[in-house]
Chain A
Amino acid sequence: MSKKREPSRWVLPLLLFMATGTGIGVGLIVSWVVWPVEYVDVAPDSLMPSHREEVLVLIGMSYAYNHDLGLAQNRLAALGDTTGSEVVTLAEQYASGGNDADQIRALTALAYALGFRRAALAPYMPDFAPTATWTPWPMPSQTFTPPPTETMTPSPTETMPPTPTVTASISLTSPVTPSTTLTATVSPTPAAMPTEAPTATPIPTLTPAPLPTPSPTTAPVPVPGFEIVKQQHVCDSPGGQLRVTVLDETGRPQPNVELLIRWDGQDEHFFTGLKPEKGIGYADFDMQKDRVYELVIVGAQSNVAQGLDTGGCENRLASWDIVFQFNRPDQ
């Protein structure tokens, strides 16, 4: 009598497990390879890098054509760039790579409109180009005296057309909260006395314009730039902090703005927006004792915040709250 061999009790579960596994594998192959999901109406944020770059350039050129910043921002948002950082990155990349100048200018204009300031892009943005020679930062040992404002009144027998000459000078706007504005003052110089019959011609008093561009032959013209709207000395904990906020002309905080801080012949660069929890237009810097700092925005016309030191507080280092705001004077 032959003994019927009983099948192992593990055969059935093993068989079922293999069947299930095989089924899953077949299903995945079909859904991932044979008939994958096809996206036919995609949004721009999923574009390949080369096409994405093309779209960025076109957004910049479109802005350069129609100056519609809201539209440009909506287009950037569709790309997934809500801050415009890709625009400034691409502009810098193109500038260093020597790409088409029109495209660089278009991208730079959009980057500046979005609040980005980069020294490398300044040559492509005429409104914000630095002057031919940067006004040197005054050292703490210098004494600054504001130049006199002169009013020329002609005598009844002479006409004195002014021949303005421009001298750059620093004027202290407030002795309590020192901050300086780089200004150019125009001092009329009397011309040679005429020999014809005289005509008394009143000459207006020339007053310095805000943030002018010094030029030996032209009168200063107000240019857009960053002004210090707040420079406050505070005694709080932990102390020794320089807290900076940069705003655009509408009061919106601006990220990725480059700041330059100088002291004792040394300097350091830092950027807004690296601590978004404190605001995208915020940046801070740790000050050291017995140093006097000066602060300015790089790549744009800017006030210089001066006299920033850590003294004046009991038992701790002082801190400073500085707010820069972009101002575009009416022309």
Chain B
Amino acid sequence: MFGKRGWITALTTIACLLGGIGLGLLVGWVIAPVEYVDTNLAYLHPTYKNDFILTVSDAFALDGDLDTAKARLALLILPDPAAAVADLAQDAIDQQKPIQQIQALARLAAALGIQREAFAPYLSSIEENSAP
């Protein structure tokens, strides 16, 4: 069907096509990949997500606005925001973080409906401090 020259032409064409695809992938994936400049809080690295939860708990400790705290946590699109807060509080207790930080996290976790025995001392100290 094809002569020798025809086969060479066809193979060369296919090689150029494949080479072009490879070059395009190289450019698109390595040299100039798509850059996300307007990313979402949900795509944050876990370290930054935890820090975000920390700031939400500090803000809640400051103003007591639970609805706003819930709305902010919802931005992270976590499977269980309350559990995430409680786990962070537990980690803070285990790592002996500053009491103020633990209190803020424990208070938010409690407000979200999670009560743990480990939080009790930190919640009771808040009540003592706020008692007239």
Q: Which residues from chain A sit less than 8 Å from chain B, CB to CB?
A: 12, 15-17, 19-32, 36-37, 39-44, 46-49, 51, 54-55, 57-59, 61-62, 64-66, 75, 78, 102, 106
Contact = CB atoms under 8 A, between A and B. Distances in A.
Contacts, number: 146
Nearest to A75: B51
Given A19-B14, A51-B75, A58-B52, A27 B40 contact: no
B18 A23 contact: yes
Contacts of A25: 20, 24
Interface stretch (B25-33, B78-86, B115-123, B124-132): B25-33
A153 to B, nearest CB: 46
Contacts of B90: none
B24 A24 contact: yes
Contacts of A47: 38-41, 44
B22 to A, nearest CB: 7
Interface string B2-38: 0000000100111011111111111111000110111
A66 B33 contact: no
B14 to A, nearest CB: 7
B20 A22 contact: yes
Given A31-B24, A102-B62, 7 more contacts: A22-B17, A23-B22, A27-B22, A46-B39, A58-B52, A61-B62, A65-B62
B117 to A, nearest CB: 25
Contact of A37 (B29, B37, B51): B29
Given A16-B16, A42-B43, A66-B58, A30 B25 contact: yes
Contacts of B18: 23
B13 to A, nearest CB: 5
B109 interface: no
Given A36-B34, A42-B43, A19 B28 contact: no
A28 B27 CA distance: 7
A106 B58 CA distance: 12
A157 to B, nearest CB: 48
Nearest to B37: A46
Contacts of A20: 16-17, 19-20, 23
A19 B17 contact: yes
Q: Which 3 A-B pairs have the closest CB atoms?
A: A27-B24, A23-B20, A31-B28
B34 A41 contact: no
